[in-house]
Structures are given as C-alpha cells and as structure tokens.
Amino acid sequence: MAQSSQKSTRATRIAGPPPQIDGVLDDAAWATAPVISDFVQKDPNEGKAPTVATQVRLLYDNDALYIAARMLRPDARAIRRSVSRRDSDSDAEVFLVSLDPYFDRQTGYTFSINSGGVRGDWYHPQDQEGGREAQFDPVWSARAHVDDQGWSAEMRIPFSQLRFNAGEDQVWGLQLTRSLPDKNERVTWVLIPRDVAGFFSRFGRLEGIRGITSGRRLELLPYVTGGLTYRANVNPRNPFEDRSSGRIGGDLKMGLGPNLTLNATVLPDFGQVEADPADVNLSAFETVFAERRPFFTEGSEQLAGLAQNFINRPVYFYSRRIGAPPRGSTSGDFVDQPTNTAILSAAKVTGRLKSGLSIGLLAAVTPFEHARSYDTLTDRFNEVAVEPANTFTVLRMQQDFGKQQSNAAFNLTHAHHFVDERGGLQDILSRDAVTGGLDFKLRTQQGKYEFTGFVGASYVEGDSTAIARLQRGSAHYFQRPDQDHIGYNPGRTSLSGYTASLRHDKNAGYSFWGIQLIARSPGFEINDLGRMPTADDIDFNADFGLRNSKPHQSYRFYSLNFATRAGWNFGGIRQYSNVGLNTSLTFNNFKRATLNFAYNFRSESDVLTRGGPLMGTPNSLTVSSGLNSRPNIPVTWSVNASGARDELGGWSWTARSTFSVRPGARWQASVDPTYTRSADARQYVTTKSGGLAVTFGN
C-alpha cells in the first residue's frame, strides 16, 4: 500500500468567474482543474478497485476552496435522495471532504453532502476519524444534483471558516471519501486500512494554494432585543405574570495577526440556541448538558483540550458554568427568579502558531442576580441576591512536537465569586477557586502506541460555612461516619487536593490493549469552573482485545474485548470491581450480532448512602445480546435482550427492538418498544432506634 505522504494533488486558482454552486458541473472553470479519480475501496473489499467511478476537481480563489465531485453509477435509479437533519446519517449516498489546514497531522475538518442535498460538518479534535464534534457549524454552501448517469455535488468552503498557518504557499492534508450505503461500499482517495491507527496522520497532500488569508479579520454584530409577556386568565394577585424586557449587546470577531482570533461579546443573546432536553435527575450528581452557545463552541478544543484517550480525565473547564442558573433562592407567595445568570462580557483568544503551539485564553464577567418575591399578607415586595458577581479565567497552552504528533499541555483556571452577606451567598459559595494541571501524549508508529498522563492540583477558599457545605457535598462526603482516612472539619476555610494518571495503549493491529491508573485525592475539587463527579478515588482499568478486519468466507469482521475495572478510596475500601467480555460478529451481509457478559464482585460503596456509612454491593452477573440489520438502508431493525441477577436474589430483564422505515425521501417512521421487569432484593422499609454509632444510633 502506498503511504499517504506519497499521494498528492493540486488545487487550481480560478482565472475567471467562480463556479455557481448549483450541483451541476457545467461551469467553464471546472475544465481547468485536474481530475482526481484514483480511488480505492475501503469497504467491503479493502484495497480493491471501486465498482463505480468517482471524479473530483479542486479550485480556489482569494476567498474560498471549491470542490466538484462527479459520482457515476450505471444504475442511477438506485440512488436515494433521502432528506435528514444536518450532520445526520441516512440511506443516501454521501461525498465527504476532510481537510487538515494546519497540516499538523492530528486535527482537522470534514464537510459532507449527500445525494439528497443534506450537508454535514464536523471538527476532529484528534487524529481519529471518530470522536468528531458536530457542534462545529461553519457557514458554507453545497448543492447536489441527480441525473441519469449518477449524481454530482459542488461545495464552496470559505477560508474564513477554516484555521491555517500564515504563508504564501499552503500545504494541507486531504482525504476524499464516497459512501454508497445500498452497496455497502466505501471508497477513499487515500486508503487507510481498518487495522491501523491514525486518520489525519495518513492523509495525502493538497498543494497549489497560494496567496490566501483567512478572509475578513474583523466582524462586528450588534443586536437589540425586546419582549412583552401578557398572560390572560391567570392569578390576578401574582404581580410577576406580566412583564417587559429589553437588551442591547453585540459580538466582535477580530484577527490578531495571521494565527490568533479574538472573540468578544457584551450581553450576549443566546435565544436562538436549541433548548436543553427535559431531564428528571434523582441521583446525587448533576446532569451534564452539551454546550450549544456559539461563543463557547468555537475554538473550544483549544480551551478544554482533547480527550487524549483518557478515562476520567479532569475537565478543568466546563463552559456551562458561565451563565448557569443562580445558586441561591428565596421564598414567598409569588417569586420571580432568573433562570440563568446574565453574562456582562466575555472575551477569548484562540489559535495555533506555526511553531505548533495552540493557545486558548478566556475571561468572562457575570453580574449580581436578584430574585423578587411578593408576600400577599403584608403586601410587600422583597429582593434577594441569588447569585454573586463572578469573574472566570481559563488558560490552556499545548505544544506539539516530533514527527508523531506528540504533545504536552498546561491548564490554569480561576473563578472568583464576589460573595458577601447579601442573600447569605457567602454560606453556599466559595470565594476563590484555582485549578492547574499538566498533561502529555507520546505517540509512536502513527498512534499505534500511545503513552499518556496528567497531573493536576486544586485550591478552593471561602467562608467556613461554604467550605463545610463543600465537604458534605456529593463529590466528597467527608462526614461519612465509618471512615478514618479523612475528617470533616466545619471550621476549615480552604480545601486542596491533587490528581494524577498514567496510561499506555496499543491502538492498532490484530490485538489491542490499554492499561491506566488514576488517583484523585479526597480534597481535589474543580467544580467551580470545571466538572468532576467524585474525589477520593483510586481507579484502575485495563482491556485487551482481538479483532479481525479482513473478510472471511463465513463472516466479515469480528472483535473480542476483555476489560476489567476496579476502584478504591484512599482508605483502602474497594468501591467496585468488575470484569467483562464483549463480542461482536459482522456477517457478510453486514448484519451484526453481539454477545456481552459482565460480572460485578462484592464491594462497598461510599456514595450510595449519600454521606452515611458504607453500603455493600452484591456479586452480580449481567448477560446481553443483540442482532442488528445493515445500517443506512430504507428499512432497518434490531432486537436486543439482557438479563441480570445478584447473590441476594435481585434480578432484572429487558427486551427491546427497533424498527425504522423510510418510505420516501422526506418521510421516516420508527417504533422503539421496550419492556423491562426487575426486582430489588434490598429496599428501604423503616428506621429503627438502637443501632450502632456508624449508623447514627439507628
């Protein structure tokens, strides 16, 4: 197989008018571009010649990159034109362009269009085809057209929507892909075998682009909003039913030299952002919602960092902390409380220097928020502070080095809450929270082997009542009565801790494995600006697997994966321990069967009683299996069953199936019936006196 570094193509500068993006390749400009047609199968027969021809041309001007793709098929009537949501899969054919504009061989973008005209776009934060981020929503255009010879597509990708190094001559990474779901066929320009690691590190080269910039380097978007709410037939005594509102603000985007971008906002309006789904959370831990606000999604990878193949990697920056619902509350017959904290202003600088240094710096300010209440007996209004003014600062710097895309990074965050006696906020919120950490990733053989690690520390300071509340929270539970390695101290005014981890992985080949050890000290706390469920943990996980991606006479693919996980607290109590075996078999007709086993060993949990004594968890066995049809065809289905039983006699079983049919390009119907029965052998009945001290005398 030819290496991706040996494959290259060129884009041609447009001499006349640019092509019209209508999906019909009849513009004169396309005749000047060389044709890329040397595609090869990735599925189903890796390395073989495609069963259909694909031709691609690349043009550019000062503003954008233009792509034309001609997808030929002798049976053109078989091409489906299904319409779906942006970034979604369907049974239509798809053409994808993947770009690595920085040519760092580890990050990049993918743009797609299907035969029904549906677009998709993703940012890839690391050297993997999967793990892509659909929140990336650039402004670009594409159209598709189906005819009696197949279908064609045209794309226009503005340079302003991409980030790349400054320079007269550009060299980018490039991959071109065509997917034909009805034929189970996937063809690519550069063949990346299924049993190897890496994605961008194996791309071909796109050359010939000269004399371009990232487009406009100054954008200003002011706005004015207003609202009036009037409700008829409501309680006439509620003074907060009818209200008016108004806001003026704006966004600024400006280039700082060729590689860095400044984004700033004043009183941003996120009213157009999709609302969070409804959620009923009965656990002790918060629900994690995805970030959808444009200011925070753009360049987020340079502020939060990459997943780095870690399990339970500390999330030092969780952007939903900024502008979150107020933490305080008030009471009254009628209450008017803000649902979210306003953002007075925020600014960030993100980008990547030619030296391989990625920079992310963010600062934000939120104001005091007040809730109003009305007491009908006294006919009085009251106003209470429910959120203090806050400042937030985030810094991340990551340096890439070596030919294998290794890197090292530094994180620092600071949250300051201007708490005082107003609303009693000093009793529920800390005053200052600082976190910092280092992480690294060392790669060999284009990611076949990876050695990763991190170390971090935290410091939180505030009023003793707030720190006591933090000690009793679900992330720590220092008040647990039957532990002696930590102690609850209601008089302390600060909390500090550390975390560290090492991991080693083999990601490619017939066998694959990974092993990791993580520690989070009891006082480690990052939830003021980051996200962390629990501290006081020492976790171990390891997995070993086998997979065969070469088609066989009886099957197409199979994989077996054995995994084990265990965790202890710093007092040596084993909190969980389990082993599992997951198997998967894909048949030659692309139906897939799975069979999985998981066994949990008897352990003792320090979180189930939410601050009470340890609670034992029994031995248990879970078995599940499933059968799935081919994906991305007009009619898909699946059947799944699972069952579990523990040593105390508790049990559960679930049967589930899915069925989806697409009778036309714009219609889809699906049904997903599920039936579950379970019995828990341990249930709370009542509390009796005369118990031990560890159960509070009951």
pLDDT tens across 275-331, in order?
788 888 888 888 888 888 888 988 787 888 754 445 567 899 999 999 999 999 888
Report the half-sphere exposure of 581 (CA within 13 A, side-chain side).
6
Task: Supply 65's token pair.
Answer: 């990159």
Query: What pLDDT, in 10s, does the model give residues 336-348?
Result: 888 889 999 999 9
Give the rounded percent of residues in the chain with a pLDDT score beyond 90. Answer: 62
Task: Supply 512's token pair.
Answer: 């694959």
Q: Residue 419 pLDDT more than 60? A: yes
How far apart (Å, rounded) are the C-alpha atoms in residues 630 and 668? 17
How far apart (Å, rounded) are the C-alpha atoms in residues 99 and 659? 36
Q: Residue 3 pLDDT more than 70? A: no
The secondary structure element, H or E, covering residue 621 is strand 620-628
Q: 10 Å Cβ neighbour count for 125?
A: 21
For residue 355, the model assigns a pLDDT of 87
Region of 414 (left: φ > 0; alpha: ψ -120 to 50; beta: rest) is beta
For residue 524, the model assigns a pLDDT of 97
* Residues making up the chain, counted from first to last: 698
Position 412 confidence tier, pLDDT thresholds 50, 70, 90:
very high
What is the bridge-based pairing of β-strands 204-210 and 8-10? parallel
Residue among 386, 528, 391 nearest 470 (CA): 528
How far apart (Å, rounded) are the C-alpha atoms in residues 509 and 521? 36
Task: Supply 186's token pair.
Answer: 């996937």
Q: What is the mean pLDDT of the chain?
A: 90
How far apart (Å, rounded) are the C-alpha atoms in residues 610 and 491? 22
What is the bridge-based pairing of β-strands 357-366 and 380-387? unpaired
How far apart (Å, rounded) are the C-alpha atoms in residues 613 and 672? 40
Residue keyed to tokens 């500390």: 314
Q: 10 Å Cβ neighbour count for 681?
A: 11
**Which value, in Å, is the radius of gyration of the alpha carbons in the chain?**
28
Asked if residue 371 lies in contact with residue 383, where contact means CB atoms within 8 angstroms, the answer is yes
Give the rounded percent of residues in the chain with a pLDDT score beyond 70. Answer: 97
Average pLDDT over residues 397-424: 91
- Buried/exposed code over 278-294 (b: 16+ C-beta within 10 A; e: otherwise): eeeeeeeeeeeeeebbb
For residue 216, the model assigns a pLDDT of 61
For residue 698, the model assigns a pLDDT of 85
For 288, phi and psi rounded to 5 degrees? -100, 120
For residue 307, the model assigns a pLDDT of 45
Average pLDDT over residues 19-23: 94
How far apart (Å, rounded) are the C-alpha atoms in residues 589 and 336? 60
In single-letter form, the type of residue at position 520 comes to R
Q: Residue 552 pLDDT more than 90? A: no
Position 271 confidence tier, pLDDT thresholds 50, 70, 90:
low
How far apart (Å, rounded) are the C-alpha atoms in residues 9 and 189? 10
Query: What pLDDT, in 10s, does the model give residues 150-171?
Result: 999 999 999 988 888 888 899 9
- Buried/exposed code over 639-652 (b: 16+ C-beta within 10 A; e: otherwise): ebebebbbeeebeb
How far apart (Å, rounded) are the C-alpha atoms in residues 643 and 622? 6
Residue among 630, 671, 668, 631 nearest 89 (CA): 631
Query: What pLDDT, in 10s, does the model give residues 613-665?
Result: 999 999 999 999 999 998 888 899 999 999 999 999 999 999 999 999 988 87
DSSP 417-478: E---SGGGGGGTS-SEEEEEEEEEEEEEGGGTEEEEEEEEEEEEE--HHHHHHHHHSTTT-T
Asked if residue 388 lies in contact with residue 366, where contact means CB atoms within 8 angstroms, the answer is no
What is the DSSP code (8-state) at residue 16? S
Q: Which of 19-28, 119-128, 214-223, 585-594 has the lowest mean pLDDT?
A: 214-223
